[in-house]
Amino acid sequence: NAGVTQTPKFQVLKTGQSMTLQCAQDMNHEYMSWYRQDPGMGLRLIHYSVGAGITDQGEVPNGYNVSRSTTEDFPLRLLSAAPSQTSVYFCASSSLESWSVDTQYFGPGTRLTVL
């Protein structure tokens, strides 16, 4: 049981490049989310999904795309990287069960630098 995994751990991009941050969970969780963490601003929600085929925008969605083709995977795509997207990115998952008080399980994070 690996929990939530993210790859890569570190990434450096040039402005305008595209890339995909990978996220996978093996707990059969319905909810999956992407957050970015910037100094002094806490974590902010980028996109989230309540199940395969269903995604929605969070607080800061611009410049990012997501898809959810399977329960396990929730990749985050940067279409054209900008320096403002330099951040640490966290993927999280949690259960839809009504009795579960949303213990979100977080991945280890990806530190992204855009030059």
Partner 1 sequence: AQTVTQSQPEMSVQEAETVTLSCTYDTSESDYYLFWYKQPPSRQMILVIRQEAYKQQNATENRFSVNFQKAAKSFSLKISDSQLGDAAMYFCAYRSYNQGGKLIFGQGTELSVKP
Enumerate binding residues for partner 1 (CB under 8 A): 30-33, 35, 40-45, 48-50, 58-59, 88, 90, 92-96, 101-104, 106, 108-109
Judged by beta carbon, residue 18 or residue 100, the one nearer partner 1 is 100
Question: Judged by CB, which is closer to partner 1: 35, or 64?
Answer: 35
Nearer to partner 1, 48 or 64 (CB): 48
Asked if omega into 39 is within 30° of 0 (cis), the reply is no
Report the nearest approach of partner 1 to the CB of residue 39 (Å).
9
Do 36 and 46 form a contact (C-beta atoms < 8 A)?
yes
Q: How far is the CB of 80 from partner 1 (least distance, A)?
A: 26
User: Which residue's CB is nearer to partner 1, number 85 or number 93?
Assistant: 93
Task: Report in angstroms how near the CB of residue 114 gets to partner 1 at its nearest.
Answer: 19
Cα distance between residue 48 and residue 93, in whole Å: 9
